[in-house]
Amino acid sequence: MTEPHAFVFAPPAIESLPVVGAEARFPVRRIYCVGRNYLAHIREMKEAEDERDPPFFFQKPRDSLVEDGATVPYPADTDDYQFEVELMVAIGAAGRDLSVVEAEGAIFGYGVCLDMTRRDRQRECGGKRLPWERGKAFDQSAPCGPVFPKALGGNPAKGAITLTVNGEERQRGDLAQLIWSVPEIVANLSASYALAPGDIIMTGTPAGVGPVKPGDVIVGAVDGFGTLTLTIGGREA
Ligand code: MN
- Residue 46: CB atoms within 10 Å: 6
Distance of CA 172 from the midpoint of ligand 1 (Å): 14
Distance of CA 126 from the midpoint of ligand 1 (Å): 14
Decide: 34 and 55 in contact? Cβ < 8 Å. yes
Q: Is 112 exposed, middle or buried (0-12, 13-18, 19+ CB in 10 A)?
A: buried
Give tens-digit pLDDT for 25-69.
999 999 999 987 888 777 787 766 666 678 889 999 999 999 999
Note the pTM of the prediction, 2 decimals. Answer: 0.94
Residue 168: the pLDDT is: 98
- The b/e string for 18-37 (b: 16+ C-beta within 10 A; e otherwise) is bbbeeeeebebebbbbbbbb
Distance of CA 2 from the midpoint of ligand 1 (Å): 45
Give tens-digit pLDDT for 56-112.
899 999 999 999 999 999 999 999 999 999 999 999 999 999 999 999 999 999 999
Which residue from 189, 184, 190, 26 is spatially nearest to 111, judged by alpha carbons? 26
Residue 104: the pLDDT is: 96
Sign of the CA dihedral with 22 first, then 24, 29, and 30 last: positive
Give tens-digit pLDDT for 158-179.
999 999 999 999 999 999 999 9
Distance of CA 135 from the midpoint of ligand 1 (Å): 11
Residue 159: the pLDDT is: 96
Q: Which domains does the chain have, with CATH numbers?
A: 26-235 (3.90.850.10)
Strand order in the sheet with 217-222: 71-74, 227-235, 217-222, 160-165, 168-174
Distance of CA 204 from the midpoint of ligand 1 (Å): 5
Distance of CA 39 from the midpoint of ligand 1 (Å): 13
Q: How confident is the model at residue 237 (pLDDT cuts 50, 70, 90)?
A: confident
Q: How confident is the model at residue 146 (pLDDT cuts 50, 70, 90)?
A: very high
Distance of CA 102 from the midpoint of ligand 1 (Å): 25
Residue 35: the pLDDT is: 87
- State how far the Cα of 232 lies from the Cα of 218, in Å rounded to an integer: 8
Q: Given a cut of 70, is residue 202 above it in pLDDT?
A: yes
Q: Given a cut of 60, is residue 1 above it in pLDDT?
A: no
